[in-house]
Amino acid sequence: MKVFSNLAMSLDGKIATRSRELFLLGTPRDHQEMQRLRKQADAILIGASTLRSYKKPNLISKAKTQPINALLSTHLDGISPHWPFFQDPKVHRVLFVGHTLSPARAKKFEKTSELVLLKPPTKKKPASVQIVEWFKKRGTKSLLIEGGGGIMWDFSSAHLIQEYHVTLTPKIIGGATAATLVDGRGFLPKEILNLKLKQCRVIGNEIYLVYQALRSSLEATSR
């Protein structure tokens, strides 16, 4: 299964402001690139912080077959089943939730979404690995990660992302608490993730980069 990511970031590596309010970082050309990549995905995954920031509508593609809209949120805190994300009955939504989610909270989302209860995360089986295994069992061929920084860390640190698509925008956001492309605990020097530049395109004032991971845990498990 192919796992790849796509995010736009500022020159200083931020993907959102410190307030996390709605802010379109890329140009319409970047939006076109997002749609192009969504057409290649069987499923698109975002984290709870991304959904809370934008309350975005469905993660739709211009392809005839719509990808699964997946969300990772341990407790579904601060998320309403009445948001546009949950409204289109034609979209298959999958919510990956923690084992401690209350039945009452889960019931509010069961009418619009398929809930997948994750096991307590361990070093060998963090949430990201469990999610990939769930999709692989269902024959999913491609999973697109669209952020935020926390979920990017979950997948990057487990060496699950094989290809990183990054749009570098001519903006500086700043802020010690503003979300970056990859947040989380961070790597120590001996753990740093090394990538290989696969493609670089300059369009207007934006740079479209594609990096390939030099190590992927999925390559070993797929043999």
144-190 residue pLDDT tens: 999 899 999 999 999 999 999 999 999 999 999 999 999 999 999 99
Angle at 12 between CA 10 and CA 14, to 5 degrees: 55
The distance between the two most distant Cα atoms of the chain, rounded to a whole number of Å, is 50
Question: Does 217 or 153 have the greater pLDDT score?
Answer: 153
pTM for this one? 0.93
| Lowest mean pLDDT segment, chosen from 53-57, 108-112, 114-118, 184-188 | 53-57
Instruction: Give 25-52 pLDDT, tens digit per residue.
Output: 999 999 999 999 999 999 999 999 899 8
Number of domains in the chain: 1
Per-residue model confidence (pLDDT) at position 220: 43
Q: Are 221 and 162 in contact (CB under 8 A)?
A: no
Q: Which range of residues forms the domain containing residue 123?
A: 2-222
Three-state DSSP at 86 gives helix
119 vs 109: CA distance, rounded Å: 19
Q: Please report, for the domain that includes residue 202, its CATH number.
A: 3.40.430.10
Residue 217 · residue 201 · CB < 8 Å:
no
**Residue 187 and residue 210: Cα distance in Å, rounded?**
21
**Would you give the distance in Å from CA 84 to the centre of its chain?**
18
Pairing verdict, β 206-213 and 93-97 = unpaired
Give 102-149 as a DSSP string: -HHHHHTTTTT-EEEEPPPP-SSS-HHHHHHHHHHHTT--EEEE---H
